[in-house]
Amino acid sequence: MMMARNTMRRVAISWQNGLITSIASATRSLHTTKDNHSCKIIMSPPLVSLDLPDIWSSNSNQYDSIPPQKFSNQQIATVIDGKSIAEDIRSSVTSEVRRMKESIGKVPGLAVIVVGQRRDSLIYVRNKIKACEEAGIKSMMTELPDECAEDEVLSALSNFNEDSSIHGILVQLPLPQHLDEGKILNALSLEKDVDGFHPLNMGNLAMRGREPLFIPCTPKGCIELLIRSGVEIIGKNAVVIGKSNIVGLPTSLLLQRHHATVSIVHALTKNPEQITREADIVITAAGVPNLVRGSWLKPGAVVLDVGTFPVDDPSSESGYRLMGDVYYEEAVELVSAITPVPGGVGPMTIAMLLSNTLDSAKRTYDFN
Amino acid sequence: MMMARNTMRRVAISWQNGLITSIASATRSLHTTKDNHSCKIIMSPPLVSLDLPDIWSSNSNQYDSIPPQKFSNQQIATVIDGKSIAEDIRSSVTSEVRRMKESIGKVPGLAVIVVGQRRDSLIYVRNKIKACEEAGIKSMMTELPDECAEDEVLSALSNFNEDSSIHGILVQLPLPQHLDEGKILNALSLEKDVDGFHPLNMGNLAMRGREPLFIPCTPKGCIELLIRSGVEIIGKNAVVIGKSNIVGLPTSLLLQRHHATVSIVHALTKNPEQITREADIVITAAGVPNLVRGSWLKPGAVVLDVGTFPVDDPSSESGYRLMGDVYYEEAVELVSAITPVPGGVGPMTIAMLLSNTLDSAKRTYDFN
């Protein structure tokens, strides 16, 4: 990811209406296309054709050279310690895995399929495998080359689907472009979809009266952070920034399940600052460093920052550091609680993956 | 419905914070329940337990005695003629059905399952059957008694699933309380789910890069009304009032697919008036007459009213008239376009059902 995003590293973010206007014109022209019989009846275009890249427009200022603005409404924010909360959860999972092993002689099993050599993917996968080991969860990994055929991925998936010692499977995203992500995720056994990315899980998350087998890990981690920090969700105004399948969408659905009033801000939103400033709870997953300035935040709001964007940092051991979506120095003076980056939402994702895998094994063995 | 809702008929709507507070306390207590091992790890409760009834609180004023408030920002609103647009669509469907019959000797087929004797359900079903006849679509209906067993419904469903002359099946909702709606809708063949209520269809509607086989009829009708009225959706602020599985949820997902910035207002929203007043597009499906006053609307907004609530009207031939969620007399002075009730969104639902059934038959026969 660091290499691929190199050219974007030294940019700051602003909002250009030009982008919206040009995409709007392109989309409007879709509405008036009448080149087949179907279009004669229904004027709205097929939905996939409306998929637009989530480009958050930027300008050439250096984001790390903007001095933090001072706000008069200062209060001392609680820094939500995701690392510590995640450790508590992982410790509980470890105990439960031990109890399961002692009681029925079984342990949960997680399989990971990773395609290609993306540096960030390999780091994430390595961390997941390591976390499994620490919790006593069995892990298996299939690594496939960047140029592998779709059938090879499907075959690896099929093996794990049938392996009764595996209770969770995750396909590390993103996949190389020549692979059909939708088709591959569809082939994943629903009972082992610990990432919760199958559309049936997503539909069940969205619909009242239904319950998904798994809730996607990052959104679930966010809600857990809110609850453990004593933040009431019901009836609160919540803004989710970003509408990705992995974070933004399921987070907005989950907040609605918890009866928040949810607004979803995205790259084509015209007044994101104004909308976000109305929120009691802000969960941002745009992947744009320093997008959310102090002026976007209502004093006393609670802010969870899912963004992780690597920037060069020679002073760091790894040579880089992670930046969130939120301009932390400005936000921390205004809000009542905030997650840092790193050490906020990030560690919760892995903790929830372990928890989902444990839940799946418990369901399989009817173990409570 | 008229009988059941009789006691609610003569009430006006206001917002009571007491309801929110009491439900909030009840829900908070769920969060701290630690009566089994699973709760020790994850503090958020199972989702289904968070399902709350969508009670829009009311007081005892008579809604039809509130005089309309005058607004200074008067403009002449376009009244969106849903009846006429629906007729255009039905006429196109009729032509396509004729072309299909002439080309391949087949017609689309719709099956309806209705359980019990709810007066409103029977009226809706009769209208759907009549519309099929007019379009040349074959229709079949299974009527089951109120107290029928779940197996009887599942058996009727199974027959239609296997009938190759049937391309769409709908189970008229709501079902009597002793029947498991989720289980019954799950049994409906995905390829015939013309209502689009299956969670897999809903998940595919929600997720970027995926496409549902069917889009729920009322939301699809709303988008079609916007497009045919020349209303741009992309980048606009949209508020959806109500979050039902049938209307509110899929409407919010569909507006997001069209790149609106969507906020979802519901019975537990604390400041619905303030949030709604920010919207360029308001789609309301609360089922609460006159909920949306003029003060809720931004001058120039576009308003689609999905609400239909029957109230006694001795001057009408049927003995009742339908009221929408919007206080029409106030709204019409402020907004740029609005749907009336009746004659707005209502007729579009049936037109979209016919269109979905036609699309399904075309897909089955690979007919374009």
Percent of chain B residues past pLDDT 70, beyond the cut: 86
Model confidence band, residue A50 (pLDDT cutoffs 50, 70, 90): confident
> For position A273, what pLDDT does the model report?
97
Residue of chain B whose alpha carbon sits nearest to that of A259: B268
Q: Over 60: is that where the pLDDT of B63 sits?
A: no
Model confidence band, residue A65 (pLDDT cutoffs 50, 70, 90): low
Average of per-residue pLDDT across B238-265: 97
Percent of chain A residues past pLDDT 70, beyond the cut: 86
Average of per-residue pLDDT across A256-261: 96
> For position A40, what pLDDT does the model report?
64
Instruction: Looking at the structure, tell me whether residues B118 and B190 fall in a common domain.
Output: yes
Which single residue is written with the structure tokens 């979506």? A325
> For position A73, what pLDDT does the model report?
60
Q: At CA B29, angle to CA B24 and CA B32, rounded to 5?
A: 130
Average of per-residue pLDDT across B133-158: 97
Q: Over 80: is that where the pLDDT of B39 sits?
A: no
Does residue B134 fall inside a structural domain?
A: yes
pLDDT (tens digit per residue) in A165-188: 999 999 999 999 999 999 999 999
Tell me the CA distances in angstroms from B275 to A238, A301, B297, B303, one per residue in order: 12, 17, 9, 14
**Residues pairing with A110 in the sheet:** A139, A168
Q: Over 90: is that where the pLDDT of A62 sits?
A: no
Average of per-residue pLDDT across B47-66: 66
Does residue A196 fall inside a structural domain?
A: no
Closest in B99, B202, B263 to A263, CB measured = B263
- Catalytic-residue membership of B270: no
Q: Hey, of B21, B204, B234, which one would you mutate to test binding to chain A, going by the most A CBs within 10 A of its CB?
A: B234
pLDDT (tens digit per residue) in B276-300: 999 999 999 999 999 999 999 999 9
Q: Over 50: is that where the pLDDT of B3 sits?
A: no
Q: Among residues B138, B193, B195, B359, which one is catalytic?
A: B195
Model confidence band, residue A320 (pLDDT cutoffs 50, 70, 90): confident
Average of per-residue pLDDT across A52-60: 66
> Strand B337-338 to strand B320-323: parallel, antiparallel, or no bridges (unpaired)?
unpaired
Q: Hey, of B91, B177, B210, which one would you mutate to test binding to chain A, going by the most A CBs within 10 A of its CB?
A: B210
Q: With CA atoms as reference, report the closest residue to B236 among B246, B250, B247, B223.
A: B223
Residue of chain A whose alpha carbon sits nearest to that of B358: A38
Higher-confidence residue of A174 and A14: namely A174
> For position B218, what pLDDT does the model report?
97
Q: Name the amino acid, one letter, at A276.
A: T
Q: Which residues in chain A have Cβ-Cβ distances shorter than 8 Å to B96?
A: 37, 41
CATH of residue A336: 3.40.50.720
Q: How far is B313 from chain A (nearest CA, A)?
A: 34
Q: How far is A219 from chain B (nearest CA, A)?
A: 12
The span from the first CA to the last CA of chain B, in angstroms, equals: 41
Does residue A172 fall inside a structural domain?
A: no
Does residue B221 fall inside a structural domain?
A: no
> For position A33, what pLDDT does the model report?
41
Does residue A356 fall inside a structural domain?
A: no
Question: In 3-state terms, what secondary structure has residue B23?
Answer: helix
Q: Over 70: is that where the pLDDT of A205 sits?
A: yes
- Segment holding A38, helix H or strand E: helix A37-41
Q: Over 90: is that where the pLDDT of B67 sits?
A: no
> For position A7, what pLDDT does the model report?
35
A220/B44 touch (CB, cutoff 8 Å), yes or no: yes
Question: Is residue B286 a contact partner of residue B325, using CB atoms and an 8 Å limit?
Answer: yes
> For position A231, what pLDDT does the model report?
97
Closest in B37, B256, B368 to A37, CB measured = B368
Q: Taken in order B285, B286, B292, B296, is the CA torsion positive or negative? A: negative
Percent of chain A residues past pLDDT 90, beyond the cut: 73
pLDDT (tens digit per residue) in B206-218: 999 999 999 999 9
Q: A with B: how many residue pairs have Cβ under 8 Å apart?
A: 216
> For position A92, what pLDDT does the model report?
97
Q: Over 50: is that where the pLDDT of A218 sits?
A: yes
Among the residue ranges A284-288, B59-63, B77-81, B262-266, the one predicted with the least confidence is: B59-63
- Catalytic-residue membership of B128: yes
What's B105's DSSP letter?
S
Residue of chain B whose alpha carbon sits nearest to that of A52: B259
A203/B201 touch (CB, cutoff 8 Å), yes or no: yes
The span from the first CA to the last CA of chain A, in angstroms, equals: 40
Average model confidence (pLDDT) across chain B: 87
B24: containing domain: 8-65
Q: Over 70: is that where the pLDDT of B23 sits?
A: no
> For position B56, what pLDDT does the model report?
80
Compute the distance between CA of residue A299 and CA of residue A362 in angstroms, rounded to an integer. Answer: 43
Instruction: Looking at the structure, tell me whether residues B119 and B48 fall in a common domain.
Output: no
Does residue B312 fall inside a structural domain?
A: no
B209/A181 touch (CB, cutoff 8 Å), yes or no: yes
> For position B4, what pLDDT does the model report?
39
> For position A58, what pLDDT does the model report?
53
Q: Over 80: is that where the pLDDT of B228 sits?
A: yes
Closest in A38, A224, A245 to B208, CB measured = A245
B257/A359 touch (CB, cutoff 8 Å), yes or no: no
Count of structural domains within chain B:
2
Compute the distance between CA of residue B212 and CA of residue B225 in angstroms, rounded to an integer. Answer: 20
Closest in B37, B245, B266 to A96, CB measured = B37
Does residue A274 fall inside a structural domain?
A: yes
- Segment holding A302, helix H or strand E: strand A302-305
Give the catalytic positions of A in this structure.
128, 172, 195
* Summary count for chain B: helices (H), strands (E): 12, 13
> For position A280, what pLDDT does the model report?
98
Torsion angle in degrees (nearest 10) through CA of B189, B194, B197, B199: 50
B38/A201 touch (CB, cutoff 8 Å), yes or no: no
Question: In 3-state terms, what secondary structure has residue B292?
Answer: strand
Q: Hey, of B39, B188, B259, which one would you mutate to test binding to chain A, going by the most A CBs within 10 A of its CB?
A: B259
Compute the distance between CA of residue A197 and CA of residue B214 in angstroms, rounded to an integer. Answer: 20
Q: How far is B240 from chain A (nearest CA, A)?
A: 10
Phi, psi dihedrals of residue B281, rounded to the nearest 5°: -130, 125
Does residue B49 fall inside a structural domain?
A: yes
Question: Is residue B204 a contact partner of residue B253, using CB atoms and an 8 Å limit?
Answer: no
